[in-house]
């Protein structure tokens, strides 16, 4: 197995770099790569981290995974890209500094945007995605969310239509459900189809992979900017348990019920409530809490501390994140939530 300069025969581990573009004053932008090629044959799993440069937990998780995996006892191959966005990582920024573009919205766009000359971030993403899509039997892009976030896994919706029948999509959906459950964090389904398109999430790495038939899901490993050690440890076990579900390793790792949400039904992502007025927000809730429709979750105060309004949630659900910053404007989103989901995981595509 060879990715960039990292080439490993069966039973070997190799590290190297995948060159993705040249830099204006010389040298090249390179992504670090680790290839763990098992002694026995099996699936190829890709694990990526820090595609947003202010989300370092994925990098540390990958380092710990590569330390734990013994290629002599591995059936198949694990390919790791611990830093997908070096330009953002250097500056602890979500986006790359080439043009300030979000690198996780540029996958699978080559065909749709064939008439447009791609900017450098899209070029980089296309080159990396060519490597991934050529070999991946499963994919785990590791992320984090806002500073204050309860860890969870985003389970994508699976498109059908065009070249994919409903029955084929159902097979992919069932595999995704199995692997997301194996990872062990609370599972929260992606936004409904209209919001996926509005947010361009079909061109995230997970969205593009699932559209191409690759089982992929997105763990959100707590907050950004710093590594939360307890969440990172759970994620290392989560990656291992996915390998176990794929029959690549013999023994499962620990599960982490301390992060579970006490809910028997399906949940999905929801942004809300919103601020009705500008001011300074004071939250009454924290990540992981369950709230009921009508509960007041925040106050908006003026610069002197007088309450201008209180903000109530629109529906039952769990608080996943409080949005960062104390200053809010009209219609700003205050919370990321997980709310009951009545939308099928299969969605028709054009």
In order, the DSSP letters of 101-161 are --GGG-TT-TTTTTTSPPPHHHHHHHHHHHHHHHH-SEEEEEEEESSEE--EEEEPPEEEB
Q: What is the pLDDT of residue 117?
A: 84
pLDDT over threshold 60, residue 113: no
In percent, the amount of the chain with pLDDT more than 70 equals 99
Q: Per mean pLDDT, which range of 78-82, 115-119, 173-177, 217-221 is the poorest? A: 115-119
233 and 298 part of one domain: no
Of 259, 284, 299, the residue that ends a domain is: 259
What gap in Å lies between CA 302 and CA 281, rounded to an integer? 9
pLDDT over threshold 70, residue 35: yes
**pLDDT band at 112; cut points 50, 70, 90:** low
60 three-state secondary structure: helix
What gap in Å lies between CA 265 and CA 26, rounded to an integer? 54
Question: In the block, which residue shows the tokens 């004053």?
Answer: 25
Question: Which whole-number Å values give the CA distances from 90 to 53, 56, 61, 96, in the listed order?
Answer: 7, 11, 18, 9
194 and 254 part of one domain: yes
pLDDT over threshold 80, residue 116: no
242 and 287 part of one domain: no
- CB-CB contact of 128 with 18 (8 Å): yes
Would 347 be classed as within a structural domain? no
Q: What is the pLDDT of residue 111?
A: 60
Would 287 be classed as within a structural domain? yes
pLDDT over threshold 60, residue 44: yes
Q: What is the pLDDT of residue 262?
A: 80
User: How many Å separate Cα 341 from the centre of its chain?
Assistant: 19
Of 259, 279, 302, the residue that ends a domain is: 259
Q: What is the pLDDT of residue 114?
A: 63
Q: Across all residues in the chain, what is the average pLDDT?
A: 95
255 and 277 part of one domain: no
User: Residue range 234-251: average pLDDT?
Assistant: 98
213 and 297 part of one domain: no
In percent, the amount of the chain with pLDDT more than 90 equals 94
pLDDT over threshold 70, residue 50: yes
245 and 115 part of one domain: yes
User: Residue range 55-84: average pLDDT?
Assistant: 98
DSSP category for residue 339: E
144 and 249 part of one domain: yes
What gap in Å lies between CA 143 and CA 150, rounded to an integer? 12
Question: In the block, which residue shows the tokens 């710990």?
Answer: 64
51 and 194 part of one domain: yes
Tally the domains of the chain: 2
- CB-CB contact of 267 with 188 (8 Å): yes
180 and 276 part of one domain: no
Domain span at residue 286?
267-342
Of 213, 230, 259, the residue that ends a domain is: 259
- CB-CB contact of 134 with 44 (8 Å): no
Per-residue burial over 68-82, b if 16 or more Cβ lie within 10 Å, else e, is ebebeebbbbbbbbb
User: Residue range 251-280: average pLDDT?
Assistant: 93
Would 275 be classed as within a structural domain? yes
255 and 275 part of one domain: no
**pLDDT band at 163; cut points 50, 70, 90:** confident
Question: Which whole-number Å values give the CA distances from 10 to 3, 35, 75, 308, in the listed order?
Answer: 14, 10, 10, 65
Q: What is the pLDDT of residue 123?
A: 94
pLDDT over threshold 90, residue 264: no
247 and 280 part of one domain: no
Considering the entire predicted model, what is its pTM? 0.95
255 and 308 part of one domain: no
**pLDDT band at 199; cut points 50, 70, 90:** very high
User: Residue range 176-202: average pLDDT?
Assistant: 96
User: How many Å separate Cα 138 from the centre of its chain?
Assistant: 14
Would 331 be classed as within a structural domain? yes
- CATH code of the domain covering residue 274: 2.40.50.100
């Amino acid at each position: 197995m060879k990715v960039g300069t990292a080439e490993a025969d069966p039973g070997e581990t190799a590290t190297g770099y995948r060159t993705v573009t040249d830099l204006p004053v010389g040298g090249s932008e390179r992504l670090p790569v680790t290839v763990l090629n098992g002694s026995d044959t099996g699936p190829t799993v890709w694990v990526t981290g820090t595609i947003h440069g202010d989300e370092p937990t994925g990098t540390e998780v990958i380092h710990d995974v590569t330390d734990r995996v013994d290629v002599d006892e591995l059936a198949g191959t694990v390919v790791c890209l611990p830093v997908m966005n070096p330009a953002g990582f250097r500056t602890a920024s979500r986006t790359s500094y080439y043009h300030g573009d979000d690198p996780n919205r540029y996958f699978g766009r080559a065909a749709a945007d064939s008439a447009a000359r791609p900017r450098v971030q899209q070029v980089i993403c296309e080159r990396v995605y060519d490597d991934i899509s050529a070999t991946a039997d499963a994919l785990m892009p590791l992320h984090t969310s806002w500073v204050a976030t309860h860890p969870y896994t985003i389970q994508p919706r699976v498109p059908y239509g065009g070249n994919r029948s409903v029955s084929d999509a159902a097979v992919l959906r069932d595999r995704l459900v199995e692997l997301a459950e194996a990872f062990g964090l609370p599972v929260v389904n992606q936004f409904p189809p209209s919001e996926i398109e509005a947010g361009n999430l079909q061109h995230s790495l997970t969205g593009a992979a699932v559209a191409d038939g690759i089982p992929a899901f997105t763990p959100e490993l707590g907050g950004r900017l710093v590594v939360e050690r307890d969440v990172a440890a759970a994620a290392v076990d989560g990656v291992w348990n996915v390998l176990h579900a794929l029959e690549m390793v013999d023994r499962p790792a620990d599960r982490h019920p301390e992060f579970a949400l006490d809910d028997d039904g399906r949940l999905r992502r929801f942004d809300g409530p919103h601020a009705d007025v500008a001011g300074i927000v004071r939250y009454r809730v924290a990540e992981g809490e369950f709230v009921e429709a009508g509960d007041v979750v925040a106050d908006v105060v003026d610069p002197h501390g007088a309450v201008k309004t209180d903000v109530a949630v629109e529906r039952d659900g769990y608080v996943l994140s409080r949005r960062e910053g104390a200053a809010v404007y009209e219609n700003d989103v205050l919370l990321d939530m997980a709310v009951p989901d009545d939308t099928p995981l299969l969605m028709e595509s054009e």
